Amino acid sequence: MNIEQWIYLARAEIRSNKGKMVLIFVVVSLLFLIAGLYWPKKYESSTTILASEKNIITPLMEGTAVATGVQSLAGNAKEIMLSRRVLEQVMEYAGWPVDKMSPLEIEITAENISKRTRVDSIGVGLLRISYVDKDPRRAFKTTERFAELFIQESLRAKQNESRAAFEFVDNQVKLYHKKLLDAESRLKAFRGSNADARPGSQTDVDARITQLRQQLEQTRLQLSEARERENALNRQLSGEAAFSAQLTKEQQFRERIVELQQQRDNLLLNFRESHPDVIRLNHQIREMEDLIAAETARRKEIIAALRGGRDDSRIAVIQSNPLYQQLRQQLSDTRTEIATLETRVRITNGFLTEALERSVRITDSEAELAELMRDYEVNRTLYSDLLRRRENARVSMSLDQEGQGLSFKIQEPAALPLKPSGLRLLHFMMAGLLLGGGIPLGMIAAVVQLDPRVRQYGTLKQDLKLRILAVVPTLQTSRDRRTKQLVNASLGLVMVAVIVCYGYVGYLRYTQAT
């Protein structure tokens, strides 16, 4: 068949089977419409959580504290959120009557919530929590509560982890502290019973004898120098005046100001004027300037008193000679030093005698002392390292308690879903109209293509090589034509009614949705 013959036969089949085609169209369309109306709606609500371990504390506490990192975020989140305790809190918050439900119902509901909950990792530190439910408000509340509980449980787990680490290290510190005390006690007892029992005792005694001899020589030399200095000071004191004008303190204050200004300039190389140390130095400079002004006024008053011949206690103060007093103090110190050096010579001679006697009494007990020392050093090293680790663990625990280190933030909060997800009524309506019209047309095409009956006179002429004498068309009366027109109008009205029904249902659903 050529295309014209095929179209002719298809039109003939449509005219002869139009009632069946309309019936199939109506049935399929209405079935899909009813299925769309009663198809369970699924509303999906999702939220995105950002887990960040980078903040301003991280570089400041680097090397001092260990912050919890982002590891297997999606797996941990699913384990946390789908626990029984969290699910019960979510059910209570989202509106399930947990108090009135039996344990079996709670278990079934929790399992259904777990199946409808999806946790995905969508990037580095990004976590998406999605929940599907037929009630949009319950889907929103469930997702919102899941996010809150996940953050709370994660932070609590961090705090518990850091606290457990601190307690473990603290227990180890106490254990090694006890071991260190035991090692110290054994070492102390051994040294108490063996005063000379230590490695290299003979070498130490020899070095001690050499040192004492050197000290004795140096002390004698210092004693000679001190006696000579005493004589010189006596000669100087005999020619010095007891009193002279005293220098004012103004120059000392000015020198102090110069030192403070140098310190401030050094600080300004690294800090600003608002730095606390710079402000403190500015205050000190102003105080020194106030003292200079006061000292200047005081000097002027004393000069006026001297010129006027008035009695003033401050005049006696400035007339005391510092050099004379300094020489007298040096002479007193020198005499004290001479007495001290003489005593040192006598004591050093005694020490040298004891060291010489001690070199004879040294015994060979270095092996046991070395063993005790090794035990002590090992325990002391471990104890010092554990002390440092305990402080690091304490700072890490404080970071977790203060919410530093690993932090969670809701990047995209959960929203109330306004449209259902998945198949909606619009999809069923489109599928109903398309399949309602496509199935009858497909059946007609299959009949035309596969039916072996002879439907056209050209087939007899071409395939069977028969001669066609005449073709008798179907004869229709006026009554048949009216009946046919009535049937066509009825079928058309039925199709229009189906389409109008579709439009009315869509309009109602749209107005309800808006």
Q: pLDDT digits over 294-338, tens only?
A: 877 876 775 565 445 555 554 444 444 566 577 778 888 888 888
User: What pLDDT does 269 receive?
Assistant: 82
Domain regions of the chain by residue span:
3-39+434-513, 43-170+394-412
State yes or no: pLDDT of 84 exceeds 80: no
Average pLDDT taken over every residue of the chain = 75
Average pLDDT over residues 365-376: 77
Long-range contacts of 429-435 (CB under 8 A, 24+ apart): 429/32, 429/33, 429/36, 429/502, 429/505, 429/506, 431/32, 432/28, 432/29, 432/30, 432/31, 432/32, 432/33, 432/36, 432/502, 433/29, 433/499, 433/502, 435/28, 435/32
Query: What homologous superfamily does CATH list for 43-170+394-412?
Result: EIF_2_alpha (3.30.70.1130)
Average pLDDT over residues 336-350: 87
465 DSSP assignment: -
Residues 6+ positions from 241 with CB-CB distance below 8 Å: 321, 324
Q: For residues 288-324, b (16+ Cβ closer than 10 Å) or e, as one string? A: beebbeebeeeeeebeeeeeeeeeeeeeeebeeeeeb
User: What pLDDT does 330 receive?
Assistant: 82
User: What pLDDT does 141 receive?
Assistant: 86
Total-model pTM = 0.42
Beta-bridged to residue 51, according to DSSP, are 408
User: What pLDDT does 65 receive?
Assistant: 43
User: What pLDDT does 48 receive?
Assistant: 85
Cβ pair 286, 251 in contact under 8 A: no
Specify which of 52-66, 87-101, 342-356 reaches the highest per-range mean pLDDT.
Answer: 342-356
Cα 85 to Cα 29, 81, 153, distances in angstroms = 48, 9, 11
Could you give the residue ranges of the DSSP H alpha helices within 117-196? Answer: 136-193
Average pLDDT over residues 266-295: 83
User: What pLDDT does 319 receive?
Assistant: 40
Beta-bridged to residue 39, according to DSSP, are none
Rounded distance, CA 131 to CA 137, Å? 11
Give the burial class of 269: count Cβ atoms within 10 A of its Cβ; 0-12 exposed, 13-18 middle, 19 or more buried.
exposed
Average pLDDT over residues 372-376: 84
User: What pLDDT does 512 receive?
Assistant: 61
User: What pLDDT does 225 receive?
Assistant: 87
Average pLDDT over residues 79-107: 80
Rounded distance, CA 137 to CA 95, Å? 9
Cβ pair 406, 49 in contact under 8 A: no
Rounded distance, CA 359 to CA 330, Å? 42
Per residue in 413-443, pLDDT (tens digit) is 887 776 766 666 777 788 888 887 888 888 8
